Amino acid sequence: MVDIDPESLPARCLVDTGVLIRSLGQFEDEHTQVCRAFFEQMIVKGQRMLVAAPSIAEMLRGQPQPLPRTKSLIPVAFDSRAAEVLGLEIPVAVLRSESSITGHSRTYLKYDAMIVACAKRWGATCIVALDGDHRVLAKYVEMPVRHPREFLCKQIAISFDGETQGE
């Protein structure tokens, strides 16, 4: 069981494709449970999750299934203002450099850059993503990137008087 701390949730975040497809049951792996718990708790709390148009395109390529209709899930466009963020704040040289470092194609990184630009343009307080690909790009628009596990309830160690660990 995964417990999300409702007080730690962002008021308005952008969820990346990886988090979204796991939350919607379109992909199963070791991250699915925490993604679903995060997604469900955001809906329960009435917090806003932005989904960039490029993420919707990526999602539909995997399993053609529409986004669920919920007040908490808001599709956002890559519009002219997002294009300005991308063109003015995320240099092409960064995409080239990241491509050579990570081995990802520039096309792949352009999608990530468009998603980051949407987060900035539509007023997200952070991007919630599984991979670190967004971190470098998000620095250019001063956008924090958080993993869904960062919203888990904190666990505390409990010690019992007179007992030693390992007994």
Greatest Cα pair distance, the chain, in angstroms, is 66
Name the phi and psi angles at 38, rounded to 5.
-60, -50
Average pLDDT in the 33-50 region?
96
**Angstrom distance (rounded) from CA 66 to CA 160:** 51
Segment 44-80, tens digit of pLDDT: 999 999 999 999 988 888 777 888 888 999 999 999 9
Segment 70-115, tens digit of pLDDT: 899 999 999 999 999 999 999 999 999 999 998 888 888 999 999 9
**pLDDT of amino acid 165:** 54
CATH number for the segment(s) 10-151: 3.40.50.1010
Average pLDDT, the chain: 90
Q: Does residue 24 carry a pLDDT above 60?
A: yes
Compute the half-sphere exposure of residue 126: CA atoms within 13 Å on the CB side of its CA.
15
**pLDDT of amino acid 82:** 98
